[in-house]
Structure 1
Amino acid sequence: MPRAVERKEHPLSMRLPETDIAIIDRAAALRGRSRTDFVRDAAVRAAEDVLMETAPIRMSPAGFKAFMATMSGPAAPVPEMVELFQRPAPWESTRTGKRR
């Protein structure tokens, strides 16, 4: 008697308006992907985001105490961020050395 083979793939069917299909196809083409691959990856990423937003963070009492102490303490500037925010934006004029 033949053994049942476990399916590794499960079909998913959706009905979408032509405008949605056109957008998906255009984006998939820009990424060099098939519609199926593009939609699957986008759906999995969206699902992972939702799960990460709702996943509880577990830590020991000592870890929580250290976390709260860090969060309650004074903020320290990050030199790289300070430098980044002092740079003019790419669309700002740098010919005169002054920001608009």
Structure 2
Amino acid sequence: MPHQAQRKPHPLSMRLPDADLAIIDRAARLRGHSRTDFVRDAAVRAAEEVLLETTLIRMSPAGFDAFMAAVSGPAAPVPGMVELFRRAAPWETSNPADAS
């Protein structure tokens, strides 16, 4: 029985201005990634976003009716969000220990 060969990664080559490379390299270092890993992750993430934005969602008529009822109903406050918006922002509070 023949062995199936392992698929090897395909190279991808780009020509970028020095300024773009500097930004990519700086961001990659901040994340602790190589330039290749950083660019691959960013490209795959961007591709996934495009695919998710253009993917057709199918549902049954009953499912669609339930969805429409849920989004068309009256809004209800989410307790955690209400509490979050009542808190002062970190820059609106002062900490005496930070003043020294």
Counterpart of 2:9?
Answer: 9
Q: Distance in 1 between matches of 2:75 and 2:94?
A: 32
Cα distance, 1:7 vs structure 2: 3.6
Moved more, 85-94 or 36-45: 85-94
Relative to the length of structure 1, the TM-score reads 0.84
Question: Which residue of 2 is the match for residue 28 of structure 1?
Answer: 28
Question: Which position in structure 1 is the counterpart of 2:51?
Answer: 51
Following TM superposition, the consecutive aligned residue runs of length 4 or more in structure 1 with deviations greater than 6 angstroms are none
- Percent of aligned pairs with the same amino acid: 75
Q: Which has the higher contact order (CA 8 A, sep 6+)?
A: 2
Paired positions, count: 94
Report the secondary structure of 2:91's partner residue.
coil
Residue by residue over 1:3-37, the C-alpha shift from the partner in whole angstroms, topping out at 9 and shown as x without a partner, is 89464311111000001111111111111111101
Distance 1:35 1:62 in 2: 48
Deviation per residue, 1:23-65 (Å, 9 max, x gap): 1111111111111011000000010011111111111111100
Q: Measure the CA separation in 2 of the matches of 1:70 and 1:94.
A: 42
The whole-number CA distance in structure 2 between the counterparts of 1:15 and 1:36 is: 14
* AA of the residue aligned to 2:23: I
**Structure (1 or 2) with the greater helix fraction:** 2
Task: Give the structure-2-normalised TM-score.
Answer: 0.84
